[in-house]
């Protein structure tokens, strides 16, 4: 397969055709984790960038923030319910609404990042309840007990999917014996189509849309399968047993490792990258000419990302790997070959986003935030500081919006000025 020169701007322009603006969602933009913002600082003061405000009165959660109607949206948990909050741009709470049942077993705090589509906000709960709300008032326009209604099943940590909108459709993955993915009318929550069942639990993944060979698809990962859905009619275009990939390639997986995938797939130039922690490694897939099958390009045992995401910049992948549940290194791989460019210890594994050729990394154990130059030549830390507010694991992914860096830690949300002007 012919490989084009890597110009990431081209990938973003192609992906934006699928999504109407204004739109704000998980790992902007287009779920790549790479922001198109410019004019950002290339180094921070010793104490970190300027803190604009802090709100420590939020319900606890692991979700990131999204934006719309000059407001910030974030989810949290209160007792056994997931709640959606709207904040003004100074961090003050506009409104707070209960919208669904929370996951109440292991690590119950909310994990859905709201999806903002014009005047509406869309959310899923840890138990698989969906809701569409008015962005200005918080009024619930419609709601659905989707996982329960479609006989969905759950892994040990419930539902962790951030919803995705495509025109008039909303996609959700209940899994289970009846279906795998459903498309609902985003205006009223009514069913448009449902796929066949892969007879598998949903993963902890927020899927990504991609365009290939004249069709639009949704790429996702369940407990055992990587798969794509043809969005024109809800047929499963292809699926691959990701556990079998490890077995066939004799990848040494941690004994008794759970079949867990938490990372949104990356699509670029007819290829799809998949990664997961617990020594499961990562691998690259080539799409067939018609887009209805995949073949394995390479496998890797270095960059097994736990749940901190991965970014692609100028032909190289960046993220942190899983050494154990409490530790991991920061890594870089060549996109085309999977070759390890570097593996470096810094604090702990965590989440990563990018902008203007810089990586923004957030250590999940102690809350260190680092600014790293994205270069395959080595881990080049430029600046760092530490988050002091909040409690629990530092699992929320950072977000860049209009020259500000937003960091969430449990009950706390901070906004930092990273614009150069």
Residue 28 has pLDDT above 90, yes or no: no
Catalogue the E-assigned strands of 323-401: 330-334, 340-344, 350-355, 358-363, 368-373, 380-386, 399-401
Residue 252 has pLDDT above 60, yes or no: no
Residue entry with tokens 């691998």? 283
Cα–Cα distance, 5 to 258 (Å, whole number): 37
Cα–Cα distance, 284 to 273 (Å, whole number): 5
Averaged pLDDT, 300-308: 95
Signed CA dihedral, 112, 116, 117, 120: sign only: positive
Residue 389 has pLDDT above 80, yes or no: yes
- According to DSSP, residue 49 is labeled S
Residue 60 has pLDDT above 60, yes or no: yes
| Structure tokens belonging to residue 193 | 């189509």
Q: Which helix (H) or strand (E) holds 93?
A: strand 93-101
Residue 370 has pLDDT above 70, yes or no: yes
The pTM of this model reads: 0.93
142: how many CB neighbours lie within 10 A of its CB?
A: 16
Q: What is the pLDDT of residue 280?
A: 86
pLDDT in tens, 124-147: 999 999 999 999 999 999 999 999
Model confidence band, residue 248 (pLDDT cutoffs 50, 70, 90): low
Residue 8 has pLDDT above 50, yes or no: no
Give 382: exposed, middle or buried? Use CB within 10 Å, 0-12, 13-18, 19+.
middle
**Domain coordinates of the chain in residue numbers?**
8-417
Model confidence band, residue 411 (pLDDT cutoffs 50, 70, 90): very high
Residue 249 has pLDDT above 60, yes or no: no
Averaged pLDDT, 240-253: 71
Q: Higher confidence at residue 245 or residue 208?
A: 208
Give 4: exposed, middle or buried? Use CB within 10 Å, 0-12, 13-18, 19+.
exposed
Residue entry with tokens 């024109």? 232
Residue 265 has pLDDT above 90, yes or no: yes
Residue 247 has pLDDT above 90, yes or no: no
| Structure tokens belonging to residue 419 | 């614009």
Model confidence band, residue 80 (pLDDT cutoffs 50, 70, 90): very high
Averaged pLDDT, 181-192: 98
229-268 burial, b at 16+ Cβ within 10 Å, e below that, comes to bbbeebebbbbbebeebbeeeebebeeebebbbbbbbbbb
Model confidence band, residue 174 (pLDDT cutoffs 50, 70, 90): very high
CATH class assigned to 8-417? mainly beta
Q: What is the pLDDT of residue 260?
A: 80
Model confidence band, residue 1 (pLDDT cutoffs 50, 70, 90): very low
Q: Which residues pair with 132 in a beta bridge?
A: 122, 142
Q: What is the pLDDT of residue 253?
A: 59
Q: What is the pLDDT of residue 380?
A: 98
Model confidence band, residue 275 (pLDDT cutoffs 50, 70, 90): very high
Q: Which residues pair with 238 in a beta bridge?
A: 228
Residue entry with tokens 């902008």? 355
Residue 250 has pLDDT above 90, yes or no: no
Cα–Cα distance, 413 to 391 (Å, whole number): 11
């Amino acid at each position: 397969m012919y490989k084009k020169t890597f110009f990431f701007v081209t990938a973003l322009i192609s992906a934006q055709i699928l999504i109407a603006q204004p739109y704000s969602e998980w790992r902007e933009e287009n779920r790549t984790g790479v922001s198109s913002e410019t004019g950002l600082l290339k180094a921070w003061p010793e104490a970190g960038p300027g803190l604009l405000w802090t709100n420590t009165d939020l319900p606890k959660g692991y979700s990131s923030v999204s934006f719309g109607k000059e407001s910030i949206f974030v989810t949290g948990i209160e007792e056994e319910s997931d709640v959606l909050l709207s904040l003004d741009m100074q961090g003050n709470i506009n409104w707070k609404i209960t919208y669904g049942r929370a996951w109440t077993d292991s690590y119950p705090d909310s994990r859905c990042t709201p999806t903002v589509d014009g005047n509406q906000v869309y959310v899923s709960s840890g138990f698989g309840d969906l809701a569409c709300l008015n962005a200005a008032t918080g009024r619930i326009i419609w709601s659905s007990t989707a996982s329960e209604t479609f006989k969905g099943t759950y892994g040990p940590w419930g539902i962790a999917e951030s919803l995705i909108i495509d025109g008039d459709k909303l996609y959700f993955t209940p899994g289970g014996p009846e279906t795998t993915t459903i498309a609902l009318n985003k205006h009223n929550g009514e069913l448009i189509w449902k796929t066949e069942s892969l007879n598998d639990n949903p993963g902890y993944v927020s899927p990504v849309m991609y365009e290939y060979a004249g069709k639009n698809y949704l790429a996702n990962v369940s407990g055992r399968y990587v798969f794509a859905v043809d969005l024109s009619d809800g047929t499963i275009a292809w699926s691959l047993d990701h556990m079998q990939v490890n077995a066939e390639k004799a990848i040494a997986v941690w004994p008794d490792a759970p079949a867990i995938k938490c990372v949104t797939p990356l699509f670029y130039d007819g290829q799809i990258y998949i990664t997961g922690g617990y020594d499961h490694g990562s691998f690259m897939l080539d799409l067939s000419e018609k887009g209805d099958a995949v073949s394995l390009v390479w496998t890797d045992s270095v960059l097994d990302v736990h749940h901190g995401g991965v970014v692609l910049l100028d032909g190289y992948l960046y993220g942190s790997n899983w050494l154990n549940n409490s530790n991991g290194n920061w890594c870089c791989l060549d996109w085309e070959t999977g070759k390890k460019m570097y593996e470096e210890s810094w604090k702990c594994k965590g989440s990563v986003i990018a902008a203007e050729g810089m990586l923004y990394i957030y250590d999940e154990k102690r809350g260190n935030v680092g600014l790293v130059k994205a270069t395959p030549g080595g881990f080049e830390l430029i600046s760092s500081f530490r988050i002091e507010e909040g409690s629990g694991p530092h699992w929320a992914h950072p977000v860049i919006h209009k020259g500000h860096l937003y960091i969430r830690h449990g009950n706390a949300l901070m906004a930092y000025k990273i614009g150069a002007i």
